[in-house]
Structure 1
Amino acid sequence: MSQSIRALRFADKERVSVVDAQVPDPGPGEILLDVKAAGLCGSDLHYFHMTHEEMQHATQPRSPEMTPGHEIAGVVLSVGPGVNYPAVGDRVAVQHYSGCGSCETCRKGWDVHCEQASVYSLNRPGGCQDKLVVTAKDAVVLPESVSFAAGAFLACGATTAYQALKRSEVSPGGTVLVIGAGPVGLAVLTWARSLGLNAIATDPSPERRRFAKEIGFGDVYDSADFDILRWHSDKADVVIETSGNIHGRRAALAGVKTWGTVVFVGLGPGFELDPVPDLIMRQITLRGMFVFSVPLMMEAVREAAIRQVHLDPIITRVAGIEDGPAAFSDFANGSVGKTVIGWA
């Protein structure tokens, strides 16, 4: 059996439409989710700017018939055969990479590196639709204190930020420089505050810098000609680079102290360094980071509840599915903060 639902689809280049679609009953190992929040991410924007032909020949090809939105949270409506967890009625967020479950990397929780992984919104439907079938093992139960919008954010950007700080191995009281004050960068600042770290950020956008200050982050500076030593007595112990561009990556190396660590998070081409002066002579550690494991997401959700990490202020717009096309357009035009497609 299947049910009629509403879904967002990429109708054409830079145009999203609401369409009628079908969702099946959950099969073995699956659950049916009543979607409550689906966050919009930079990767959704990547496809928003493509024609249907370009989508199908992209680095990560996708069908234009695939519902976007890989940041997903909702309530379990029903479960398929063999599912004991989660249960009907549970509030959950969904890790968007779903691996085979049996290979070595999946058994470590790193579905993101499974060679057979499917990805919500890429090669299976995403969360910008009323209801969605997901694999039960991808679901992480949300405490009542974590909103659905924050849960969707934790399904990608906010846990990416948490993982970046974990990978940096920054010591308590250390200084963190964040390159880029978009949603992921703001999430890094939010986590850093909750963990007792000193955090500052840079961004070229006056609107983003203004918004960061409005939600309580005063140490956000213009990235043009930024020199950390103008504002602080020493360079940063750790730099988290979220911009994904050449200038941001260069600024990350310039802003980290000797023996420091740089974590590259932002996706984008291009970067050159000279290993001797840039790394060897300064004892610098470079780390790349891509998404996160399911156990790490479970940890981030738990820590967000225990530490009362306030991610909701980063979310500036919650639009109903009928307003989804306008929300995508505003997001593409540079809206600050996090945009979420939400259901009451």
Structure 2
Amino acid sequence: MRAADYINPGEIGFRTDATRPAPQRGEVLVAVKACGICGSDLHMYRDDSYREKLVRKTSEGYEVPGHEFSGTIAELGEGVENWTIGQRVVGVTGMGGGMADFVTVPDNPFQLVAIPDDVTWDEAATTEPLADGLQMVRKAAVREGENVVVFGVGIIGLGVIQALRARGIKAGNVIAVDVHAARLEKALAIGATHVVNARDGDVFEAVAAICGTEEGYPGKSARVSVVFDCAGYIKHMKGPPPLETALRLIDLSGGRIVCFGGYEGAMTIDMGPLIEKQPIIMGSNGYASEELVEALDLMRKGTVDRTTLISHRAPIEQVAEAFEIQASPEAVKVILTF
């Protein structure tokens, strides 16, 4: 069996001798057709973050990443009755394994869902990150006219913008913040009203110039009701962490900050605005099972175009090069193909 093998930060190999897994009771075996490289995979690739949660070991000791993929059911474990061999599915694993010819997946609606006929393998491999965006938008409960800021517009942040538009939410300004021009251009193409490149200057001032400011907190506050932090904390990031900027931006009444981006270790931020402004800060991890189905239905109907977010494709044999591409400024989403 072909498989990726995560070895150390910056080092990922390709194997052809991995043992094909066997489904246990309540599991199915999926023959993988496409698998995305996730932002969390990149955190691991940079400094080993979340390694214990992102790889699945083979009997040879290879550590196989990959948790967002599409494929066909190749084998049914004992007790599985509601799937058939050859059925097209999206799989989401909790412990990697998807960057291989075969991977086992529990038979439950949070990790296995059927792919509609009109959705391609590559599109389907982006189902999980879109469902993540749908959950974040649900949690934030964005109201008509509210200004929104999205920090980090990789596949997750772009999915938040697509989710806002797909659900017909008439937000005010939708501002994308990132350091990569290609991703900011994509954000505008799919529905952001403005973009801010954090390399160009103070993010607070740039957003305040778009949304206006209000007094009542020392140093002024921007008129932003909702911030989605899809960037988290990356150790080489310059300037304050996005969460600190979010606390400065958020307005003085009823602001919500949704945190999704991963954290590469501890960070220091000024929490003063948390007390003065009393915003709600909430984490978001994953999705409701029905949001996997909703994500696929939005693709089927053409309400969202996920193919436009796939910037690169590479065969599994080129997994090392694919990770390097995903870590580059020009990449949005890299899909491994089988």
TM-score after normalising by structure 2: 0.80
Letter in 2 for 1:6: R
Contact residue 39 and residue 341 of structure 1 kept, 8 A: yes
CA distance in 1: counterparts of 2:24 and 2:261, whole angstroms: 36
Query: Which runs of 5 or more residues in structure 2 are unaligned?
Result: 214-222, 234-239
Deviation string, structure 1 residues 218-261 (Cα, Å, up to 9, x no partner): 62112231232312356222110111134311221222223221
CA distance in 2: counterparts of 1:265 and 1:328, whole angstroms: 21
Contact residue 162 and residue 190 of structure 2 kept, 8 A: no
2:159 to 187, 200, 203: 187
Give matches, 1:171-320, under 5 Å.
171-197=143-169, 198=171, 199-213=174-188, 217=192, 219-223=194-198, 224-226=201-203, 227=205, 228-233=207-212, 235-245=223-233, 246-257=240-251, 258-268=253-263, 269-274=266-271, 278-306=273-301, 308-320=303-315
Query: For 1:163, what is the secondary structure of its paired residue?
Result: helix
- State the match for 2:318 in structure 1: 323
Offset at residue 162 of structure 1 (A): 1.4
CA distance in 2: counterparts of 1:220 and 1:196, whole angstroms: 21
CA distance in 2: counterparts of 1:46 and 1:82, whole angstroms: 37
Give matches, 1:4-23, under 5 Å.
5-20=1-16, 21-23=18-20
1:43 to 40, 47, 50: 40
Question: Would you say 1:169 and 2:146 are equivalent positions?
Answer: no
Contact residue 172 and residue 196 of structure 1 kept, 8 A: no
Contact residue 263 and residue 287 of structure 1 kept, 8 A: yes
CA distance in 2: counterparts of 1:131 and 1:323, whole angstroms: 17
Deviation string, structure 1 residues 111-131 (Cα, Å, up to 9, x no partner): xxxxxxxx2x2xxxx111112
Contact residue 203 and residue 222 of structure 1 kept, 8 A: yes
Cα gap change, 1:241/1:11 in structure 2, threshold over 3 Å: closer, same or farther?
closer
Query: For 1:16, what is the secondary structure of its paired residue?
Result: strand
- State the match for 1:136 in structure 2: 107
Letter in 2 for 1:86: W
* 214-223 or 186-195, larger mean C-alpha shift: 214-223
CA distance in 1: counterparts of 2:6 and 2:314, whole angstroms: 17
Offset at residue 90 of structure 1 (A): 2.2
- State the match for 1:145 in structure 2: 118
Identity %: 26
TM-score after normalising by structure 1: 0.79
Contact residue 205 and residue 222 of structure 1 kept, 8 A: yes
Letter in 2 for 1:90: Q
Deviation string, structure 1 residues 119-175 (Cα, Å, up to 9, x no partner): 2x2xxxx111112222222211122233322322222x2222111111101124533
CA distance in 2: counterparts of 1:134 and 1:312, whole angstroms: 25
Query: Which runs of 5 or more residues in structure 1 are unaligned?
Result: 98-118
Letter in 1 for 2:164: A
CA distance in 2: counterparts of 1:200 and 1:305, whole angstroms: 27
Cα gap change, 1:213/1:322 in structure 2, threshold over 3 Å: closer, same or farther?
same
Offset at residue 81 of structure 1 (A): 2.4
Contact residue 7 and residue 63 of structure 2 kept, 8 A: no
- State the match for 1:93 in structure 2: 90
Offset at residue 38 of structure 1 (A): 0.7
Offset at residue 210 of structure 1 (A): 3.7
CA distance in 2: counterparts of 1:309 and 1:163, whole angstroms: 16
Cα gap change, 1:341/1:189 in structure 2, threshold over 3 Å: closer, same or farther?
same
